[in-house]
Structure 1
Amino acid sequence: MQIAKKSHFVIKSGDVIYNKLFAWKGSFGIAPPELDGMFVSDKFPTYELDRQKVYENWLRWYFRCPALWEEARTMSTGSAALSKLTLNPPKLLLLTMPLPPLDEQRRIVVRIEAVAARVEEARGLRRQAQKERRALISGCLGRMALGIRVDGHLGNVLQEKPRNGWSVRCDGSENGIPVLSLGAVTGFQYRATEFKRTSESTSQDADYWLQPGDLLVTRSNTPELVGHAAIYNGSPYPCIYPDLMMRLVVDENRADKHFVHRWLMIPSVRDYVLNESKGTSPTMKKISQGVVMNIPFPSSLSLPEQRRIVAYLNNLEAKVETLKRLQAETAAELDALLPSILDRAFKGEL
């Protein structure tokens, strides 16, 4: 086998290994059995562990301490840019670490792993809660739809056919006009920060300009995201919507656009959109104006009833958002807990 590099290391299971270019980011580890006998470049120095002095899992946990990463950063040399800092092998051996007797190392590791298991259990519960939170809205929408008579199509309550936006070249010009990207309507929520800029010439009379309150639908995206919709909130302004979106102009004498927005989320409509989407690529699908016009819709549902449903869903979503914020706060606390425990452990306080 021909290897062009002059210096290579052979990894043995249980060896200490680190990336000297990213030691400041915590790139330390102990080689697992599946890497035994493999080669690495000179960017990954390896060392044999003296197991008479240090317990392998003690070192494995110590490698996860931010204090060690910071020490590695201060000892690294190179360009002022962090990405160029290098901790060369002689400096590695100067890094400090606490080294109590082996029995004490093992005792502390048992405590660390017990806490880590509880933290991971809490994270698992949080992930499950996130899934249930998303399923709550979807399930509510599905149950709502079961009690509504679907007797028409979306086209019955639109003033005109859906209109595509402008396929404009975006060049990121600092003073350019904002152009929404697909991410602006992903997840059926409007994201005002998801836009690019163009310096192309524009026409004030063109149909691609957005107005606050416009209802937008993606006409091209991945299968799970095509047909997502959101209501433009007026930011940024002025703003152009792209060719990959359609604007729906709802006849507000026949339908509430906020109800239309909610209706596009229900599972049966999502199934319809997915079944009617086209495209040779399995990862990118498109829907036509005709598909959108023919979305099954309760055309005869009264405006007061539509608004009552929207108010109920808004109230439910507000409660879900409160739960989401609490979960985010819990996530931050969990992320901070293990480093705090490690800091105490390696100071002999655990």
Structure 2
Amino acid sequence: MGDVAEQIRGVTFAKADAISEPEPGRTAILRAGNITDRGLALRDLVYVPSTRVAERQRLRPGDIVIATSSGSLSVVGKASRVEAPIDAAFGAFLKVLRPRQDRIDPSYFAHYFQTPAYRHRVSAAAAGASINNLRTADLDEVELPLPPLDEQRRIARILDAADDLRVRRRRSINALGQLGEAIVPTSPPTQAQLGDLLDRIESGRSPVCETRPAESGEWGVLKLGAVSSSEYRPSENKAMLSAEVPDHDLVVAAGDILLARKNTLELVGTSVFVSSTPPRLLLPDLIFRLVPRTDAPVTARYLQAALAQPEVRHQIRRLAGGSAGSMPNISKTRLLTVSIGVPPLEVQKRFDEASEAAGRRLRDAREHLAQLDALFASLQQRAFAGEL
């Protein structure tokens, strides 16, 4: 690495010198949280006096920004490429590797930092007693294949094309997710309290569990993560100890409405509709199951979508309580007072059909993305093994 790239240290500044809003005469500074698996995220920046920033510390297209110090091995070594010109620099716990373009193609160079070989090497080098650090020599001594420049460019074009397919598919997945929100009927003329629509609210139970997810044939208990993203994620569960006896009344089933009764203020009241679920998963005590009355003028799918609307989520957050230092919690009694809009049943049924169709397209798109990810990983492995 030291033969093909220059290492540049980040900007050192005092905490008192940094502000959270841009001002004339200040430069944006990236930190470790701005490095993501999908590129640099230009949010939550800090701004320091531009006099603190050397010209070589200003980011350039082709630079690789690396987190070189962290308490977490999953963070140290994370790297992202600067794709386009940005008016920013980087902080002291980061470094930049600036490729020497007469020796290495910047795109080929950038792809190397996504390989398992790179992650394994830096994780081994960085491991420390409490804070994990990558020294200058640790990065300089990383070895990577270096074919002739023309061959590097050919490989980079193949990997760029495969990666572009993944980017496009992710965008379509995001659009499908927004479509699901957009088709919820807005401003229906009739309002109703949950207490008038529900037969009951069921509480779960949290028996002693393993820290790992349940395997096929085992009983598992959902974690809050199963509902925290507003999408049902059954993989977010813990395997129940074999000595525990499962409560069959708490088995999660297709058609259920699940709601987080306790979480951070942002996530309390997050709900999901269970379209399908693996067997043997149980409701925990942190998640409610909402059971509509059989004669209620709502469908389950629409009811969950209504609960996910921003104005309803705001109601729930307002009603949630908790002692200082604890996570907000909403009681069954307070939840029953939440008001939602109830359009005519024929409108709800049309929504259900459209939502189900969008869900099928979303599942298909995610399966396709998984295939593209596998293809990209295979191409990447072959590329840096000299087999592409």
| Contact 1:218 1:229 survives alignment (8 Å) | no
Counterpart residue identity of residue 250, structure 1: P
Of residues 142, 145, 153 in structure 1, which corresponds to 2:186? 145
Counterpart residue identity of residue 191, structure 2: D
Q: Which residue of 2 aligns with 1:289?
A: 332
CA distance in 1 between partners of 2:251 and 2:194 (Å): 23
- Larger mean CA deviation between 112-121 and 318-327 belongs to 112-121
Q: CA deviation at 1:113?
A: 4.9
| Contact 2:162 2:372 survives alignment (8 Å) | no
Of residues 168, 182, 190 in structure 1, which corresponds to 2:207? 168
Q: CA deviation at 1:251?
A: 0.2
| Contact 2:307 2:313 survives alignment (8 Å) | yes
Q: Which residue of 1 aligns with 2:104?
A: 57
CA distance in 2 between partners of 1:269 and 1:333 (Å): 42
Change (3 A) 1:325 1:304: same
Q: Are residue 321 (structure 1) and residue 363 (structure 2) matched?
A: yes
Q: Partner of 1:286: helix, strand, or coil? A: coil
CA distance in 2 between partners of 1:128 and 1:136 (Å): 12
Change (3 A) 1:98 1:310: closer
Change (3 A) 1:209 1:32: same
| Contact 1:215 1:229 survives alignment (8 Å) | yes
Q: CA deviation at 1:328?
A: 3.7
Q: CA deviation at 1:331?
A: 4.1
Following superposition of structure 1 onto structure 2, how do residues 118-129 of structure 1 map, counting pairs within 5 Å? 122-129=165-172
Q: Partner of 1:134: helix, strand, or coil? A: helix
Q: Partner of 2:258: helix, strand, or coil? A: strand
Note the residue ranges of structure 2 that are not aligned, 5 or more in a row.
11-67, 70-100, 122-140
Q: Which residue of 2 aligns with 1:130?
A: 173
Q: Which residue of 2 aligns with 1:262?
A: 305
| Contact 1:185 1:218 survives alignment (8 Å) | yes
Of residues 310, 326, 332 in structure 1, which corresponds to 2:352? 310
Change (3 A) 1:62 1:108: farther
Q: Partner of 2:227: helix, strand, or coil? A: helix
Q: Are residue 15 (structure 1) and residue 2 (structure 2) matched?
A: yes
- TM superposition score normalised by structure 2: 0.54
Of residues 237, 261, 267 in structure 2, which corresponds to 1:195? 237
Change (3 A) 1:182 1:109: same
- Larger mean CA deviation between 286-295 and 185-194 belongs to 185-194
CA distance in 2 between partners of 1:265 and 1:316 (Å): 17
Q: Which residue of 2 aligns with 1:247?
A: 289
Counterpart residue identity of residue 155, structure 1: G
Q: CA deviation at 1:193?
A: 3.9
| Contact 1:184 1:190 survives alignment (8 Å) | yes
Change (3 A) 1:232 1:185: farther
Q: Are residue 159 (structure 1) and residue 146 (structure 2) matched?
A: no
Report the aligned-residue RMSD. Answer: 4.8
Q: Deviations over 1:160-208 (max 9, x none)?
A: 3x2322243324799985322223334444444433204566596x965
CA distance in 2 between partners of 1:56 and 1:274 (Å): 56
Change (3 A) 1:341 1:281: farther
Alignment length (residue pairs): 275
| Contact 1:216 1:248 survives alignment (8 Å) | yes
CA distance in 1 between partners of 2:117 and 2:230 (Å): 41
Larger radius of gyration: 1
Q: Are residue 32 (structure 1) and residue 7 (structure 2) matched?
A: yes
CA distance in 2 between partners of 1:321 and 1:302 (Å): 29
- Larger mean CA deviation between 185-194 and 59-68 belongs to 59-68
Q: CA deviation at 1:219?
A: 0.9
| Contact 2:169 2:365 survives alignment (8 Å) | no
Q: CA deviation at 1:152?
A: 1.3
Change (3 A) 1:328 1:168: closer
| Contact 1:151 1:298 survives alignment (8 Å) | yes
Q: Which has the higher strand share?
A: 2
Q: Deviations over 1:276-333 (max 9, x none)?
A: 444578995432323421232235x444443332122212322333333334434444
What fraction of aligned residue pairs are identical, expressed as a percent?
21
Change (3 A) 1:123 1:233: closer
